[in-house]
Amino acid sequence: MLAQLIALDWGTTSLRAYKLAAGGQVLEQRSLSSGIMQLPRTPRIIKGQECTDGFELAFDDACGDWLDAQPDLPVIACGMVGSAQGWREAAYRDTPANVANLGTSLQTIRSLRGVDVHIVPGVIQRSPLPNVMRGEETQVLGVLQNLPVGAGEDLLIGLPGSHSKWVEVADGCIVHFDTFMTGEVFAVLSEHSILGRTQQRGASFDGEAFDRGVQVALSAEGEIGPLSTLFSARSLGLTGELSGSAQPDYLSGLLIGHELSALATVQRRRRNSAHLPSIILIGNSHLCARYSRALDVCGFTRVTLAENATERGLWQLALAAGLVTPHPSR
């Protein structure tokens, strides 16, 4: 089957490349550790020119051979590649942002290969505490384009990660979103704080320790907030109640529990109802499994997992931009 599009999900730490056929079908995919903060540095010749630009080198690593085989393939990219520190900045679009229309606002940069790379803009929520996303808006579109009409009215889209996003949608638009730095805080605490000194990493997932962390976040003791409860990841170890191998999953559950407890509170307040919305999760399956486990405890009982949201979203944006043609109906 002939490829029609190269789609890139280019973030801070990784670069994922997809070769897509008609209808967005994935023919081949690759994952490289060449995010915008860790680009290749070794110069080499690209199309007869010596190249030292990290973005060009990473782009060539990701899909150079695909373009050698089909030089006319269009290329679309989302994520931090469009940030101020990226290859070419693609200005944010304000909320409420119609995600399907982002395909008409792509920023373009010409690569050394003579191929235009079309970069998707991010979304900004202007408020006293502004909020931004890059890449997640494309995944949201990948979910929305498969939903029945009206299904987004009681829906929250969750994107767990270093900076977890919780996105409210209405009529195909991102209307509000919250960001929690849960994943990054976990990494910092585990690697650069006293909490990491007694952790023993590498063991299999300890569900009991994780659940205990979630329950502490939801308990009366947890009401004082994470800055107090975090110390229990050390004190429970000192008293022999929590083994070193259980401490990472306890800390994970504690942080995720605090995140979801706050999310439930703010959702009830915004909706002026005890009713909580349905959840669709997008992301790493292992991390989503942790969130699904904790969401149920926090009262979010309708949780599903979306697959292939990034490539579906990039295909839809390429359609909107006229980079590819619609798949003919059968």
pLDDT grade, residue 150 (50/70/90)?
Answer: low
- Answer yes or no: is pLDDT of 293 > 70: yes
**Token code pair at residue 247:** 């401490």
CA proximity to 30, closest of 50, 69, 58: 58
> Are 260 and 295 within 8 A, CB to CB?
yes
Q: What is the mean pLDDT of residues 16-28?
A: 97
Q: What is the pLDDT of residues 91-124, one digit of tens each?
A: 999 999 999 999 999 999 999 999 999 999 999 9
Note whether 317 and 273 are same-domain residues: no
C-alpha closest to that of 62 among 21, 5, 109, 6: 6
Cα 178 vs. chain centroid, distance in angstroms? Answer: 13
pLDDT reported for residue 282: 97
Both 44 and 123 in one domain: the answer is yes
pLDDT at position 330 is 43
The pLDDT-based confidence of 74 (bands split at 50, 70, 90) is very high
Distance CA 283, CA 304 (A): 12
pTM: 0.93
Going by pLDDT thresholds of 50, 70 and 90, the confidence category of residue 147 is confident
Same domain, 190 and 91: no
208 shares a domain with 141 = no
Report pLDDT digits (tens) over 252-274.
999 999 999 999 999 999 999 99
Q: How many domains does the chain fold into? A: 2
At 247, which CATH number? 3.30.420.310
Same domain (yes/no): 275, 314: no
132 and 216 in a common domain: no
Residue 289 and residue 251 share a domain: yes
- What is the chain's mean pLDDT, rounded? 95
pLDDT tens, 187-240?
999 999 999 999 998 889 999 999 999 999 999 999 999 999 999 999 999 999
| Residue 8: band (very low, low, confident or very high) from pLDDT cuts 50, 70, 90 | very high
One domain for residues 292 and 317 = no
Q: Range of 244's domain?
A: 181-299
- Tell me the one-letter amino acid at 180: F
